[in-house]
Amino acid sequence: MLTAGSDRTYAIGLDFGTASARAVALDTETGDELATTVSPYAGGRGGVISDDADPNLARQEPQDYADALELTLGGVVAQLAEQGALEHGRIVGIGVATTGSTPLPLDDSARPLALDERFRPDPAAKAWLWKDHTAHAEAAEITSLLEERELPYLAYVGGTYSSEWFWAKILRCARTSPAVFAAAASWCELSDFVPALATGAGLDMSRNACAAGHKAMFSRLWNGLPAASFLAELEPGLAALRERLYEDVRPAGDRAGSLRPDLAERVGLGGEDVAIAVGTFDAHAGAVAGGVRPGRLVKIVGTSTCDCTVTGEPEPRPIPGVCGVVQDSVLPGLVGVEAGQSAVGDLFDWFVRTLAPEGLAGPEAHERLSAAAAGLEPGASGLVALDWNNGNRTVLVDPLLSGLVVGQTLATTAAEIYRALIEATAFGARVIVEQVERYGLPIEDVVVSGGIAQSPLAMQIYADVLGRTVRLARSANASAAGAAIFGAVAGGAHPDAEHAQAAMGGVGEIAYQPRSDAVRIYERLYGVYRKLHDAFGRVDGPLSSVMKELIEIRAGALA
């Protein structure tokens, strides 16, 4: 199927992020990125609709997705045309990666309810963005009912249902916006909505294995979605909705359909048959672009991280505290394993925004602090920090944890604290690696992508702390590149994702090797980190009440 010579084929990858959508066009043989275009969402602030009265609320305007789809596709097609690339080749497929869990309610023609005049101003009818936390009480209710009923639905997704996830958000809608809930013929994830929009599918749209398995408790082990009886106990309407959802899921890279003719026409692909791939989550697509395979962990490190690996073991088995162990969720045919850190770039940004002193602050604060921190020897600050300013996603799965810095003297400097925060995120990364290994999946090397991958200081610290080579992913736009890989598979340019990945993704030339002196010192510091981690973070730790109590006191003081 692989085309060569002057008869080239291209695949487009779409990445629907939090503030904007991006499209890239990759040569399916060489993986060269030929075109890229970004389209910010028009709605809300930075694309996100918020509510001053409720900091937990984060929604998006579904129309923005439709607009961005057309604009970004049109943009890369135009760029390819301009380069003359379309004279010697053609676009065979389009893959889609999006944020998630980002569910939205649909009417019976699969149109977002938000476009219905009756619900236009109602935030409940819009897309419930991944970082919307309005459903925290509903999430806790789901977890506790599952425990009470001794149901296994969370065994493979970390043991705790999150306020960010599909069912919690829909339950919240049913409770607080019953009119929207009643009007919804169905709900879908953004990662299914965009392919449906591109193909013109109705409510029979393809549902992707990644979102279903990670966020909606879908598994073949219990015949799909959670039992109607369980859902009915939460809210009778949910059991009825279950019947209108889906019974099967498909892996990314499967062909969902063809680009619908009217849209093809408008983006400059009139008359072409372009395959649309089943969607996936952005971080999972990024992992595929980063060359994820058994024995390799790919970390997308931005404001937070998403860490993925895969295993060919026939039966997925649960890894305590790891967000997801889901069949087909990363690479078709393999079990995807997903973990994550709640704050990495966000933690460094917080420090810069809040505590960077004069002379080190300003637009180049990260560069200045990094330069100063790079001059320090490992261990020389006498500091260690916990990277929990935004809670802990893996392996403690506890949003009610908080940050800690210990070891300060009257001579401690800002650069030392900045470095300690970087080290803390590296220690957090190591906890994940060790947990995955403890449950039988050895990690030989680590590939990093995302904004923080561009920091040589952070990457060297990661290599030293992890005691492993840390390589940078080839693509700077890994999620979009991963989507393009799936687009190439759907379009027939490669027989499967592994072949497409080998040709179009993988690692670049930059690699950081662990330095033995630093490894030795970080080994000791990691021991201190683990001691603090377990004392403050484990349920049975001697200081496990401290962070909870501080949050309680804060809540009382602010009430």
Residue 248: exposure state from Cβ atoms within 10 A (0-12, 13-18, ≥19): exposed
Tell me which stretch binds a copy of itself (CB under 8 A): 134-142, 216-224, 502-510, 534-542. Answer: 534-542
Residue corresponding to tokens 């950081």: 512
Residue among 322 and 404 whose Cβ is closer to a copy of itself: 404
Asked if 91 touches a copy of itself (CB under 8 A), the answer is: no
How far is residue 520 from each of residues 247, 379, 467, 525, measured CA to CA in Å? Answer: 51, 10, 9, 9
Written as six digits, the tokens of 359 are 């002379």
Asked if 553 touches a copy of itself (CB under 8 A), the answer is: yes
Asked if 531 touches a copy of itself (CB under 8 A), the answer is: yes
Residue among 450 and 491 whose Cβ is closer to a copy of itself: 450
97 and 482 in contact (C-beta within 8 Å)? yes
| Sequential DSSP letters for 91-155 | EEEEEEEE-SS-EEEE-TTS-BGGGSGGGTT-GGGSEE-TT--TTHHHHHHHHHHHHHTT--TTT
Tell me which stretch binds a copy of itself (CB under 8 A): 3-11, 220-228, 461-469, 535-543. Answer: 535-543
Residue among 414 and 490 whose Cβ is closer to a copy of itself: 414
Asked if 356 touches a copy of itself (CB under 8 A), the answer is: yes
Residue among 43 and 450 whose Cβ is closer to a copy of itself: 450
Cβ count within 10 A of residue 133? 18
Residue among 235 and 387 whose Cβ is closer to a copy of itself: 387
Asked if 524 touches a copy of itself (CB under 8 A), the answer is: yes
Cβ count within 10 A of residue 52? 6
Shortest Cβ 361–a copy of itself spacing (Å): 5
Rounded (10°) angle between helices 365-374 and 345-355? 100
Residue among 266 and 554 whose Cβ is closer to a copy of itself: 554
* Residue 534 backbone dihedrals phi, psi, to 5 degrees: -75, -35
Residue among 4 and 557 whose Cβ is closer to a copy of itself: 557
How far is residue 275 from each of residues 133, 231, 483, measured CA to CA in Å? Answer: 35, 36, 13
Tell me which stretch binds a copy of itself (CB under 8 A): 68-76, 268-276, 470-478, 549-557. Answer: 549-557
Shortest Cβ 87–a copy of itself spacing (Å): 50
Rounded (10°) angle between helices 544-558 and 516-537? 60
Shortest Cβ 126–a copy of itself spacing (Å): 25
Asked if 451 touches a copy of itself (CB under 8 A), the answer is: no
Asked if 525 touches a copy of itself (CB under 8 A), the answer is: yes
In angstroms, the CA 387 to CA 451 distance is 18
Shortest Cβ 404–a copy of itself spacing (Å): 4
Binding-site member from 328, 506, 536, 537 for a copy of itself (CB under 8 A): 536
Which H helix or E strand runs over 37? Answer: strand 33-40
Residue among 371 and 543 whose Cβ is closer to a copy of itself: 543
Interface with a copy of itself: number of residues (CB under 8 A): 57
* Residue 123 backbone dihedrals phi, psi, to 5 degrees: -60, -25
Binding-site member from 137, 355, 371, 444 for a copy of itself (CB under 8 A): 355
Asked if 305 touches a copy of itself (CB under 8 A), the answer is: no
Residue among 396 and 414 whose Cβ is closer to a copy of itself: 414
In angstroms, the CA 206 to CA 2 distance is 26
In angstroms, the CA 489 to CA 483 distance is 10
- String marking each residue 315-354 x if it binds a copy of itself according to CB under 8 A: ----------------------------x--xx--x--xx
Residue among 43 and 340 whose Cβ is closer to a copy of itself: 340
In angstroms, the CA 102 to CA 129 distance is 5
Residue among 150 and 540 whose Cβ is closer to a copy of itself: 540
For residue 288, give every residue at least 6 positions away whose Cβ sits within 8 Å of its Cβ, in sequence order, or none: 252, 330, 331, 482, 485, 486, 497, 501, 505
- String marking each residue 364-403 x if it binds a copy of itself according to CB under 8 A: -------------xxxxxxxx----xx-----------xx
In angstroms, the CA 6 to CA 356 distance is 54
**3-state secondary structure at position 233:** helix
| Sequential DSSP letters for 256-281 | EEE--HHHHHHTT-TT---EEE--EE
Shortest Cβ 205–a copy of itself spacing (Å): 36
Q: Count Cα atoms within 13 angstroms, Cβ side, for 193.
A: 31
Shortest Cβ 375–a copy of itself spacing (Å): 13
Shortest Cβ 358–a copy of itself spacing (Å): 5
Q: Which residues in the 403-422 window bind a copy of itself by CB under 8 A?
A: 403-410, 412-414, 417
Residue among 127 and 457 whose Cβ is closer to a copy of itself: 457
Residue among 4 and 411 whose Cβ is closer to a copy of itself: 411
244 and 185 in contact (C-beta within 8 Å)? yes
The DSSP call for residue 221 is G
Written as six digits, the tokens of 28 are 């399916």
Provide the binding-site residues for a copy of itself, judged by CB under 8 A: 343, 346-347, 350, 353-358, 361-362, 377-384, 389-390, 402-410, 412-414, 417, 521, 524-525, 527-528, 531-532, 535-536, 542-543, 545-547, 549-551, 553-554, 556-558
